[in-house]
Amino acid sequence: MIKLFVPGRICLFGEHSDWAGQMRKFNSDIRPGLALVVCTEQGIYANAECSEKLIITSLDSDDKEISAEYNMHLPELRKVASEGGFFSYIAGVAAYMLNYYRIGGMTLNILKMTLPQKKGLSSSAAICTLTARGFNKLYNLNLTTHGEMECAYGGEQLTPSRCGRLDQAVAFDKGIVHMKFDGDRLNVNPAKIGAPLYLVFADLNAEKDTMTILRDLNSAYPYPKTSEHRGLHILLGEINERIIGEVTAALEEGNIQHAGKLMTEAQSLFDTYAVSLSPEELASPTLHTVLNDTALKQWVFGGKGVGSQGDGAVQFIVRDSECGTKLINYLHKTYGILAYSIAIPKTAAVRKAVIPVAGHGTRMLPATSVIKKDLLPVVDFDGKAKPMLQILVENLRSSDVEEICLVIHHGEEELYQSLFGDTVEFAYQDDALGFGHAVLQSERFADGEPVIVCLGDHLFTSNTEESAFTQLIAAYEKSKQLTIGLFELPLAATPHYGVAKFAAETALSVLVEKPTVEYAKQNLQSNGKYYGMFMYVITPHVYAELRYEFDGNNTVENLQLTSALNRVTRKFGAIGAIISGRRYDIGLPEQYRITVADYGRV
């Protein structure tokens, strides 16, 4: 059985640009649509397992259990989808996916919906995404987030409901995503936030008719016929591009005040260019009464309408979480409206880590002929005997690393899932062609982001408040360059490890894998000391170098990480971060003895 969660979403900037951008199919003068969308903390929780049929249980709005059962037959599922209603979304996605993938059925138990329905938070897109994710995970389809979005969208298209592409942002789970709509093409990427962002969102309890708004605004597309039509094209085109560009930069810099100002400006531009096309719906008296309330200024940086606009809902960027609470109380007291807050934490400089555990572990034979090296037991600080890898994964998680990828052999998934459940992802290396080759297999997981690379046979403790990994991430955040976590080595130990030499203060000049003692002594001293490399934050340049080396040499038997790191160091520079702490090796018998004796003592 697997657990599933999918949130709702609110469009922060760029509403209506999704369908407008799609119109580029018909009129290439239209600019691509751009939007920033935030995923809510509220969402839909479910569990799912494989079964022969599609069996759904859920709760209706009065918390009464409802259920349905369908055969996994295309005509039956399509018919259910076309009839509309709650189950139609699930049946639609099942039909869409059955058409493209070899899937069986699914028992989907929807346990909890904390998402207010029909409040413009996109609960239908969330249900569709949840269904797509369930099939993806249960049948190991290996779909990316984009793949899940396509299936969710394709499934919803089989129902009478017509959600925009913007709603598919919910597939991203949390944070803010940047979306681009270019004809039928959709690009979605997580946006970076340089400082915590606090939002307040409230339903205005007023009247609005989304269908009328959409019909009225759509009349200006694809070819503008009047000056008002041209105004809307400019608003959803050039103006939207400028605002999204500025707000993206402001959020990345952590200039939340400026982002708030842009939110207010976006509303005033919407009023200037869009309202005359649908005056009844878009004059939005209630929205403007709330937005123009001067008492709000003390708490908010800016605000605007939500979704299709009109008198539906309002959103604010607030100064901090305390201001958010005060605003929520005020809105309730003064206008009788219920508001929710959303806090979006600063984006971590490094969110992902890779741990290769596909080596032979020959230096730990014969133990490693019956147990993988990374599963050798070590007693943790909590007194529990754990497979060493479990301690490493727990340390990464407590250092705020969100996604962890293990490089394993095919067939080992179950073993690691029994330890970590769904919290780890996998990449595969079936032949041990070297540490660099193992890292290269995680290129898709990294997806252009910087990632921590750990040795799968080392543990770390810290001498400071910050963990060893947090120290490494902090060093990367300052330089945004390849960053290597170093520990001092006695000269005699240098032949067992990769050794780095400093050029200047923090910059590294050269990295050498397992040098001889003589070579290290002659060439690798930094201020009379020797530094071994034990953890890394690698950049996309490192993957590019690994790929270049691997593709250029199909007889390679041992692709080292160090040679790729050396080339990146020469071309783009690299930082050495001396970690204040201690390292524990599991990969050499004498070192393992020390690790078992010393690690986890309080």
Contact status, residue 325 vs residue 341, Cβ threshold 8 Å: yes
**Between residues 125 and 358, which has the closer beta carbon with respect to ligand UTP?**
358
Establish if 356 lies at the interface with ligand UTP (CB under 6 A). Answer: yes
Choose the binding region for ligand UTP from 37-45, 139-147, 452-460, 468-476 (rule: CB under 6 A): 452-460
**Between residues 568 and 586, which has the closer beta carbon with respect to ligand UTP?**
586
**Between residues 36 and 408, which has the closer beta carbon with respect to ligand UTP?**
408
Q: What is the DSSP letter of 236?
A: I
**Between residues 514 and 582, which has the closer beta carbon with respect to ligand UTP?**
514
Establish if 163 lies at the interface with ligand UTP (CB under 6 A). Answer: no
Instruction: Select the residue interacting with ligand UTP from 433, 491, 507, 578 (CB under 6 A).
Output: 433
448: buried, middle or exposed (CB in 10 Å: 19+, 13-18, 0-12)? exposed
Give the torsion through C-alpha atoms of 146, 344, 353, 430, to 10 deg. Answer: -20
**Between residues 270 and 435, which has the closer beta carbon with respect to ligand UTP?**
435
Give the count of alpha carbons within 13 A of 243, CB side only: 28
∠ at Cα 563 (558, 564), nearest 5°? Answer: 105
Tokens 């934490």 appear where? Answer: 345
Establish if 359 lies at the interface with ligand UTP (CB under 6 A). Answer: yes
Instruction: For residue 576, report the phi and psi dihedrals to the nearest 5 degrees.
Output: -100, 125
**Between residues 14 and 359, which has the closer beta carbon with respect to ligand UTP?**
359
The count of other CB atoms within 10 Å of the CB of residue 65 is 9
Which DSSP string do the residues of 122-140 spell out, in sequence order? -HHHHHHHHHHHHHHHHTT
Establish if 536 lies at the interface with ligand UTP (CB under 6 A). Answer: no
Contact status, residue 147 vs residue 100, Cβ threshold 8 Å: no
Site residues for ligand UTP, 403-432, by CB under 6 A, read 407, 429, 432
Site residues for ligand UTP, 86-125, by CB under 6 A, read none
Establish if 242 lies at the interface with ligand UTP (CB under 6 A). Answer: no
The count of other CB atoms within 10 Å of the CB of residue 205 is 13
Tokens 């138990």 appear where? Answer: 109
Establish if 570 lies at the interface with ligand UTP (CB under 6 A). Answer: no
Establish if 35 lies at the interface with ligand UTP (CB under 6 A). Answer: no
**Between residues 239 and 404, which has the closer beta carbon with respect to ligand UTP?**
404
Instruction: For residue 213, report the phi and psi dihedrals to the nearest 5 degrees.
Output: -60, -45
Residue 348 CB, shortest distance to ligand UTP, in Å, is 24
**Between residues 425 and 477, which has the closer beta carbon with respect to ligand UTP?**
425
Q: Reply yes or no: is the peptide bond before residue 377 cis, omega within 30 of 0.
A: no
The count of other CB atoms within 10 Å of the CB of residue 516 is 11
Establish if 19 lies at the interface with ligand UTP (CB under 6 A). Answer: no
Who contacts 339 (Cβ-Cβ below 8 Å, separation ≥6)?
200, 201, 202, 327, 328, 331, 332
Report residue 199 as tokens. 């939002």
Give dist(CA 10, CA 39) in Å, integer: 6
Choose the binding region for ligand UTP from 134-142, 209-217, 351-359, 375-383 (rule: CB under 6 A): 351-359
Site residues for ligand UTP, 364-403, by CB under 6 A, read 373-374
Residue 362 CB, shortest distance to ligand UTP, in Å, is 3
Establish if 457 lies at the interface with ligand UTP (CB under 6 A). Answer: yes
Establish if 358 lies at the interface with ligand UTP (CB under 6 A). Answer: yes
**Between residues 440 and 508, which has the closer beta carbon with respect to ligand UTP?**
440
Establish if 532 lies at the interface with ligand UTP (CB under 6 A). Answer: no
Instruction: For residue 304, report the phi and psi dihedrals to the nearest 5 degrees.
Output: -165, 175
Give dist(CA 42, CA 143) in Å, integer: 24
Establish if 441 lies at the interface with ligand UTP (CB under 6 A). Answer: no
Choose the binding region for ligand UTP from 267-275, 300-308, 433-441, 500-508 (rule: CB under 6 A): 433-441
Which DSSP string do the residues of 550-589 spell out, in sequence order? HHT-TT-S---HHHHHHHHHHHH-EEEEE-SEEEEE-SSH
Instruction: Select the residue interacting with ligand UTP from 142, 362, 463, 553 (CB under 6 A).
Output: 362
∠ at Cα 309 (127, 149), nearest 5°? Answer: 30
Residue 487 CB, shortest distance to ligand UTP, in Å, is 15
**Between residues 31 and 386, which has the closer beta carbon with respect to ligand UTP?**
386
Establish if 557 lies at the interface with ligand UTP (CB under 6 A). Answer: no
Establish if 587 lies at the interface with ligand UTP (CB under 6 A). Answer: yes
Contact status, residue 487 vs residue 532, Cβ threshold 8 Å: yes
Which alpha helices (H) appear in 451-539, and where do they start and end? 468-479, 517-523
User: Taking each helix axis from N to C terminus, what angle separates 227-234 and 256-273, rounded to the nearest 10 degrees?
Assistant: 170
Establish if 494 lies at the interface with ligand UTP (CB under 6 A). Answer: no
Count, residues near ligand UTP per rule CB under 6 A: 22
The count of other CB atoms within 10 Å of the CB of residue 209 is 16
**Between residues 174 and 514, which has the closer beta carbon with respect to ligand UTP?**
514
Name which of 262, 268, 231, 257 is nearest 247 in CA terms: 262
Instruction: Select the residue interacting with ligand UTP from 105, 310, 387, 456 (CB under 6 A).
Output: 456
Establish if 549 lies at the interface with ligand UTP (CB under 6 A). Answer: no
Q: Return the SS3 of 319.
A: coil
Residue 372 CB, shortest distance to ligand UTP, in Å, is 8
Instruction: Select the residue interacting with ligand UTP from 404, 446, 455, 535 (CB under 6 A).
Output: 455
Tokens 């970076």 appear where? Answer: 192
**Between residues 132 and 427, which has the closer beta carbon with respect to ligand UTP?**
427
Residue 424 CB, shortest distance to ligand UTP, in Å, is 14
Instruction: Select the residue interacting with ligand UTP from 3, 73, 215, 360 (CB under 6 A).
Output: 360
Site of interaction with ligand UTP (CB under 6 A) = 356-363, 373-374, 407, 429, 432-435, 437-438, 455-457, 587
